[in-house]
Amino acid sequence: MNAQVTFKVGDAEYKMQFDNDKEMELLHKMIVLSNPPKYCNECKNNEHFKMDANKDKEGNIYINVMCKKCGAKAKLGQYKSGSYFWHKFEKYIPKGGQQQSQSDAPPDIDISPEDLM
């Protein structure tokens, strides 16, 4: 099954396509995705955001919203039950440059619900 969602973050428009047979999970993902965080808890910015998305070889999509003011990122997380949520914004702390150099390795995604608190 294919589904597509279009949404805006800041002044850019994003189009994403999903390939997924778990329809409820897909629907929930689309709803959460189309409502990205609009407030940076790090610097109080509420208008300058940019979205990053990567796809790995298995077709999993990894998504971040980045605050253009302070560079903090909010990751899209997933509960074990399958539902999605946005993490709070966190400042990026370089760890030996692993984020940028290994483009074919998916970033680690923290999916524990405790991170919401």
Q: Which residues of the shown chain bind Zn ion in the complex (CB under 5 A)?
A: 40, 42-43, 45, 67, 69-70, 72
SS (H, E, C) 37-94: CCCCCCCCCCCCEEEEEEECCCCCEEEEEEECCCCCEEEEEECCCCCEEECCCECCCC
- For residues 16 and 72, which CB has a smaller minimum distance to Zn ion in the complex? 72
How many Å is the Cα radius of gyration of the chain?
A: 14
Of 32 and 70, nearer to Zn ion (C-beta) is: 70
Q: In the bound complex, what is the minimum distance in angstroms from residue 89's beta carbon to Zn ion?
A: 6
In the complex, least distance from residue 71 CB atom to Zn ion, rounded to whole angstroms: 7
Q: Nearest distance from residue 100's CB to Zn ion, in Å?
A: 20
Nearer Cβ to Zn ion, position 8 or 44? Answer: 44
Beta-carbon contacts of residue 98 (< 8 Å; ≥ 6 apart): none
